[in-house]
């Protein structure tokens, strides 16, 4: 016998599968609007790694609309603007590219050829440690909203007016009115929608892997110089690139070094393989002194992280009936735009506003009417979000190819290589300057139109 969640507002209940950043933010937005929600997480606790991440100013504003407490959690967990301090004290953020491969003749080892920069505006990015942010973020939710050790086994759908049953590995089942899968790149909800044997149900190797780690600000300054250590910089070169930016209130620097890999990733059950600092140093052995110094400060034992995404087999749809996908479960991308979580925040805001419409319009209505409203909301979400999200997956692959052009190693071909930056700027602006107000207007109008038909 399945346990049913009691709706606090008398209308409907939402089950979220996956308590990562996007699932918890979505839950916070729904709770703030009085919607009954439970989040089911398969882990014993919150297992986000201590790597750094960054959010665009637009995504932070979306968090504010979800729940201002999310932004407070972000900033109280050590988030800092990641590029302040390089333009005569201007409080602006810049995304910069430098030549990480070629040594500048006659210059100090920390000098690198500057290639391009884009002004991202005031607090254009805010960097944090992923684990610290999640640890603070979960405190936004009331006690009991998140249940851990709930590994999803099966989803049972019935008629439109019936509840959906979620069956977990511990033998417990629950009933909810709708399901949102935010369970990441290996989503069980996605497998339910497309079938366990479908290539659309799983991510695929992009033939890139990354060494990731945190280094102290002191070490970063010795390798990069004062200015670069305190700002975001992308070091480009043939078949690899490295990005770094400050986190933890400017006491640490997050480093991610990406390498092209012609081989297949043989272990499909794990995205991580053990590696050492020596492995990373060998992969960047021919790069300039500055870049090699950064890699040399990584921890002695690190991991090699495979970059999987949904580029090969994008989701044919993000929703079916009263079940939908959000975040990486819907559109896992390689991290070369550094904005995958930002796109997930947009998903969460869109879903929150749509389910808020359902909650208001369906109070006191029949289960069948509520089911139709949820389907209308999820279909609207699919129509509003899928094209942009799939574009982001494609664009993330494209910019990596531009960062890792073989031409960076040949001074006679630098002119050709540098033409890529106008394209990179256009792609970056499409992410940074997203008109979320228009998205919300389109979503509300689309939902209301579907309900009137």
- Tell me which residues are annotated as active site: 212, 245
- 435 Cβ contact list (under 8 Å, min separation 6): none
Q: Please, are residues 104 and 132 in contact by the beta-carbon 8 Å criterion?
A: no
Q: Please, are residues 346 and 436 in contact by the beta-carbon 8 Å criterion?
A: yes
Residue in the structure block whose two tokens are 């989040």: 39
Q: Three-state SS for 167?
A: strand
Which of 367, 370, 380 has its CA nearest to residue 444?
Answer: 380
Neighbours of 338 (CB within 10 A): 25
CA distances from 308 to 124, 192, 234 (A): 27, 20, 21
Task: Provide the pairing of β-strand 152-156 with 323-325.
Answer: unpaired
Task: Provide the pairing of β-strand 173-176 with 3-4.
Answer: parallel
CA distances from 83 to 115, 121, 132, 229, 378 (A): 16, 10, 20, 9, 38
- 263 Cβ contact list (under 8 Å, min separation 6): 207
Q: Please, are residues 92 and 83 in contact by the beta-carbon 8 Å criterion?
A: yes
Task: Provide the pairing of β-strand 178-181 with 323-325.
Answer: parallel
Residue in the structure block whose two tokens are 């991440």: 53
Task: Provide the pairing of β-strand 36-40 with 13-17.
Answer: parallel
Type and span of the H or E element at 304: strand 301-309
Spell 135-148 as b/e; 16+ CB within 10 A means b: ebbbebbeeebbee
Q: Please, are residues 185 and 393 in contact by the beta-carbon 8 Å criterion?
A: no
């Amino acid at each position: 016998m399945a346990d049913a969640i009691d709706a606090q507002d008398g209308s409907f209940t939402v089950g979220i599968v996956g308590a990562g950043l996007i699932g918890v933010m979505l839950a916070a937005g729904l709770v703030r609007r009085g919607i009954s929600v439970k989040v089911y997480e398969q882990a014993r606790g919150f297992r986000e790694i201590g790597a750094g991440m960054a959010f665009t100013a637009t995504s932070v504003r979306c968090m504010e609309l979800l729940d201002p407490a999310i932004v407070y959690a972000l900033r109280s967990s050590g988030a800092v603007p990641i590029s302040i301090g390089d333009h005569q004290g201007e409080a602006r953020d810049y995304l910069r590219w430098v030549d990480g491969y070629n040594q500048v003749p006659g210059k100090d080892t920390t000098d690198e050829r500057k290639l391009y920069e884009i002004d991202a505006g005031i607090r254009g990015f805010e960097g944090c440690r992923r684990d610290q942010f999640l640890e603070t973020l979960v405190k936004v939710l009331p006690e009991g909203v998140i249940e851990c050790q709930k590994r999803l086994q099966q989803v049972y759908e019935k008629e439109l007016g019936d509840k959906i049953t979620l069956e977990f590995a511990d033998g417990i089942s629950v009933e909810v009115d709708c399901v949102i899968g935010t369970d990441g790149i290996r989503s069980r909800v996605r497998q339910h929608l497309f079938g366990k044997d479908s290539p659309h149900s799983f991510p695929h190797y992009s033939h890139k892997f990354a060494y990731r780690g945190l280094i102290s600000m002191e070490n970063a300054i010795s390798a990069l110089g004062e200015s670069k250590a305190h700002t975001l910089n992308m070091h480009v070169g043939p078949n690899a690139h490295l990005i770094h930016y400050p986190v933890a209130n400017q006491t640490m620097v997050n480093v991610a070094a990406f390498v092209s890999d012609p081989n297949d990733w043989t272990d499909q059950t794990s995205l991580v393989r053990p590696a050492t600092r020596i492995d990373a140093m060998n992969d960047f052995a021919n790069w300039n002194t500055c870049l090699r110094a950064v890699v040399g400060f990584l921890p002695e034992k690190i991991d090699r992280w495979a970059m999987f995404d949904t580029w090969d087999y994008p989701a044919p749809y993000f929703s079916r009936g009263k079940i939908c996908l959000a975040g990486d479960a819907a559109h896992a991308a390689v991290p070369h735009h550094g904005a995958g979580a930002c796109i997930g925040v947009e998903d969460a805001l869109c879903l929150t506003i749509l389910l808020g419409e359902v909650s208001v319009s369906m109070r006191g209505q029949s289960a069948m009417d509520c089911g139709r409203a949820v389907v209308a909301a999820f279909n609207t979400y699919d129509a509003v979000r899928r094209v942009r999200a799939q574009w982001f997956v494609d664009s993330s692959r494209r910019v990596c190819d531009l960062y890792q052009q073989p031409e960076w190693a040949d001074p006679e071909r630098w002119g050709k290589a540098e033409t890529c930056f106008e394209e990179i700027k256009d792609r970056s602006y499409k992410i940074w300057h997203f008109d979320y107000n228009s998205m919300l207007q389109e979503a509300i109008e689309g939902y209301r139109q579907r309900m009137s038909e």
